[in-house]
Structure 1
Amino acid sequence: MPFPLFDKPGRFLRGNLHTHSTRSDGALAPEEVSRRYRAMGYDFYALTDHFMAKYGFPITDTRGHRGEGFTTLIGAELHAGRMSRGEIWHILAVGLPSDFAPTGPEESGPDLARRAAAAGAFVAIAHPEWYGLTLDDAETLDAAHAIEIYNHTCHVHNARGSGASLLDALLSNDRRILAIATDDAHFSDAVYDNTDAFGAWVMVKAEENEPEAILAALKAGDFYASEGPDFHAIRRDGDALVVRTSAVDRVILLGPSARAVHVSGRAMTEARLPLAGFEGGWLRLVAIDAAGRRAWSNAAWL
Structure 2
Amino acid sequence: MKTLSAFTAPGRFWRGNLHTHSTRSDGVLDPEEVCRRYRAEGYDFLALTDHFIGRYGYPITDTAPYRSASFTPILGAELHSGAMANGELWHILAVGLPPDFAAPDVLDFQATPTQETGPEIAARAVAAGAFVAIAHPQWSGLTLADARSIQAAHAVEIYNHGCAMGCERPDGAAIADLLLSEGRDLTLIATDDAHFHEPDHFGGWVMVKAEANDPEALLAALKRGDFYSSQGPEIRDIRVTDDVIEVDCSAVTAVTVQGVGTASTALHGQSMTTARIPLARFAASSFLRVTIRDAAGRRAWSNPIRL
Q: What is the match of residue 230 of structure 1?
A: 234
Q: What is the match of residue 142 of structure 2?
A: 133
Identify the match of residue 177 of structure 2 among 145, 162, 168.
Answer: 168
Rounded to whole Å, the distance in 1 between the matches of 2:5 and 2:96 is: 24
Rounded to whole Å, the distance in 2 between the matches of 1:118 and 1:238 is: 38
Identify the match of residue 292 of structure 2 among 287, 290, 297.
Answer: 287
Q: CA deviation at 1:5?
A: 2.3
Identify the match of residue 113 of structure 1 among 100, 118, 122.
Answer: 122
1:221 aligns with 2:230: no
**Count of matched residue pairs:** 297
* Contact residue 119 and residue 150 of structure 2 kept, 8 A: yes
Rounded to whole Å, the distance in 2 between the matches of 1:275 and 1:212 is: 37
Q: CA deviation at 1:173?
A: 1.1
Q: CA deviation at 1:84?
A: 1.2
* Contact residue 15 and residue 45 of structure 1 kept, 8 A: yes
* Contact residue 229 and residue 288 of structure 1 kept, 8 A: yes
Q: What is the match of residue 271 of structure 1?
A: 275
Using the size of structure 2 for normalisation, the TM-score is 0.95
Gaps of 5+ in 2: 106-113
* Contact residue 23 and residue 58 of structure 1 kept, 8 A: yes
Identify the match of residue 300 of structure 1 among 294, 302, 305.
Answer: 305
* Secondary structure, aligned partner of 1:217: helix
Rounded to whole Å, the distance in 2 between the matches of 1:71 and 1:187 is: 20
Amino acid aligned to 1:282: F
Q: What is the match of residue 13 of structure 1?
A: 14
* Contact residue 27 and residue 186 of structure 1 kept, 8 A: yes
* Contact residue 256 and residue 281 of structure 1 kept, 8 A: yes
* Contact residue 24 and residue 55 of structure 1 kept, 8 A: yes
Q: Percent identity?
A: 59
* Contact residue 200 and residue 227 of structure 1 kept, 8 A: yes
- Where do 1:1-302 residues align within 5 Å? 1-104=2-105, 106-188=115-197, 192=198, 195-237=199-241, 239-279=243-283, 281-302=286-307
Rounded to whole Å, the distance in 2 between the matches of 1:234 and 1:288 is: 15
Q: CA deviation at 1:238?
A: 5.1
Amino acid aligned to 1:198: F
* Secondary structure, aligned partner of 2:121: helix
> What are the Cα deviations for residues 226-261 of structure 1, in whole angstroms up to 9, with x where unaligned?
011010111135521110000100000000111011
Q: CA deviation at 1:2?
A: 3.9
* Contact residue 265 and residue 281 of structure 2 kept, 8 A: no
Rounded to whole Å, the distance in 2 between the matches of 1:158 and 1:253 is: 27
* Contact residue 2 and residue 301 of structure 1 kept, 8 A: no
Rounded to whole Å, the distance in 2 between the matches of 1:201 and 1:228 is: 9
Rounded to whole Å, the distance in 2 between the matches of 1:286 and 1:37 is: 25
Report runs of 4+ in structure 1 exceeding 3 Å deviation: none
Rounded to whole Å, the distance in 2 between the matches of 1:245 and 1:136 is: 36
* Contact residue 252 and residue 285 of structure 1 kept, 8 A: yes
Gaps of 5+ in 1: none
Rounded to whole Å, the distance in 2 between the matches of 1:243 and 1:69 is: 30
Q: CA deviation at 1:281?
A: 1.1
> What are the Cα deviations for residues 161-212 of structure 1, in whole angstroms up to 9, with x where unaligned?
0000111111111111110000000012xxx2xx110000000000110100
* Secondary structure, aligned partner of 2:252: strand
Amino acid aligned to 2:179: L
Q: CA deviation at 1:3?
A: 2.0
Amino acid aligned to 2:48: L
